Amino acid sequence: MKLAIGTLALFVFVAFAAPKIAPYDPRATPQSETQKNMPPTAAHPFGTDQYSRDVLSRVMWGARVSLGVAAAAVLLALTLGAAVGALAGYRGGVTDVILMRLVDAFLSVPRVLLLLVIVASTGSLSPAGIALLLGFTGWAGTSRLVRGEVRRMKERDFVMASRAMGSPEWRVFVTHVFPGVMPQLLVTGTLALATVIPLEAGLSFLGLGIQPPTASWGGIINDAASHPGDTWWVVLFPGLAIVCTVLSVNTIGERLREKLDLRERFVQ
């Protein structure tokens, strides 16, 4: 757990500090032919790509773009999913039925297919556009979870007692119901982040996500797609960044879920 937190903290630090600590401009393309596709050296620890750009600098700036897009997408998905799920679970009745049918419709379409269709139809998008797209296509699962938690929480004795004392419904929800859902949202958001990072990288690798010359981890790998064996360093280092980040986030999410389950069993 400590290793996972430390690794994730390192990548977050690199993302924020990239403008200060990156040794080169990630978009700079020196004209010297001798600097193209250079393997790792002291001057370029991660080597250079086919445009003579420093891969280490691009990986650092790629962390800024990839993690930023993933975080924004997850935040949007959690907000939408929590709003729909809370409304459906707390109101119940016809509202619940209509909203859950909407959720079922979203879940019936594979997310990757939906993303490919939308991006292919709209053309290239900015990082903000990619974040919005990933967020708007990733809220449905969260809404189901929140709905179930809200339905469970509103039947608890202290919630029913608060209603019996005449508290307004909005105050009951804000004070007693929603705080009980927050731990589950934290776990869901953490695990969703581990899904969105490779999803964004996959879109960028296919040329449908972050567009060059902006650096993203998937886009850096795409730079060596035509000759990965000859320029293995261009694939290896951003690939390791993706793997290490996803493993760290997954580990943190799983540990949080285990602790949450233990606490729930103890309370019950």
pLDDT of residue 267: 43
pLDDT of residue 12: 92
Q: 34, 267 in Cβ contact below 8 A?
A: no
Question: Which domains does the chain show, CATH number per domain?
Answer: 2-10+48-267 (1.10.3720.10)
Give the tokens for residue 155: 């039947």
How many whole angstroms separate alpha carbon 55 and alpha carbon 220?
8
Instruction: Tell me the pLDDT tens digit for each residue of 21-47.
Output: 988 888 877 766 677 888 888 888 998
Mean pLDDT of 150-174: 76
Single pTM value for the model: 0.85
Location of structure tokens 């695990």: 191
Give the tokens for residue 257: 């879920």
How many whole angstroms separate alpha carbon 48 and alpha carbon 53?
5
